[in-house]
Amino acid sequence: MSVTLVHQSDETTARTCPKRAVRVDIAITSSVAAGSAHLVAAPGHYLWWPASGVFFVALGVVQLAVAVLLVFGVDDRRFVLATIWGTVGVIGIYLASRTVGLPMTPPVPFHGTHWVAGQAQVPNGAKYVGPLDVLTLASEIAVVGTLLTMLPTRSRTRTNNALMAIGLGLAIAGIVAAAA
């Protein structure tokens, strides 16, 4: 018994099976992971504070929509930049909620009695960082990292410089706060 492999012409393959860069697949997978994690966490957050639950649902839907747009080949510079900076903003909100706290959130039993400026919303913040938090944060960082590679050189350089400046500013603020 012999097997004959049929070879399609390069032209047919290109029309039926467009190639996508691995970095785009990583961004798609990471965005789906982060979006799914937010949708999974939404009910618990809704019970605590309805606005938080609605935010988690909206965020999850947006992150899944980003993945769908990437699947369909949307790689416009403005879309990529908006996704990068939106994701950086979400990461910033998460980090603030685990360090200095968010001023507009209501009290919760494990969050303490009320928000106090300069005090973590979650006592022993790291204690309340679970596997879903870590997965979501890692996925969002992967989205930012992979989308950066999709930018033209000039935009990538500017975005990297801005991200580095923000990181440096946060590091300096942390050092100053720790020294105080």
Q: What is the pLDDT along the chain (180 residues), one digit of tens a residue?
A: 455 555 555 555 445 556 888 999 999 999 999 999 999 989 888 887 888 889 999 999 999 999 999 999 998 999 999 999 999 999 998 888 777 777 777 665 544 445 454 455 455 555 567 788 889 999 999 999 999 999 999 999 999 999 999 999 988 988 887 777
User: Is the separation of the CB atoms in 136 and 37 below 8 Å?
Assistant: yes
Q: How many CB atoms lie within 10 A of CB 160?
A: 12
Counting Cβ atoms within 10 Å, is residue 34 exposed (0-12), middle (13-18) or buried (19+)?
buried
Report which residue type is found at 121: Q
Give the C-alpha separation, 83 to 143, whole Å: 9
Report which residue type is found at 21: A
Quickly list H helices, the chain: 10-16, 22-48, 50-71, 77-98, 131-148, 153-179
Q: What is the pTM of this model?
A: 0.79
Q: How many CA atoms lie within 13 A of 52 on its CB side?
A: 18
pLDDT at 86: 96
Return the sign of the alpha-carbon dihedral for residues 107, 109, 114, 118.
negative
What separation in angstroms does the CA of 167 have from each of 92, 125, 160, 164, 175?
Answer: 11, 20, 10, 5, 12
What separation in angstroms does the CA of 111 have from each of 106, 133, 178?
Answer: 9, 16, 22
User: Is the separation of the CB atoms in 79 and 24 below 8 Å?
Assistant: no
For the chain, domain boundaries: 19-152
Q: What residue has token string 């009910």?
A: 43
pLDDT at 45: 82
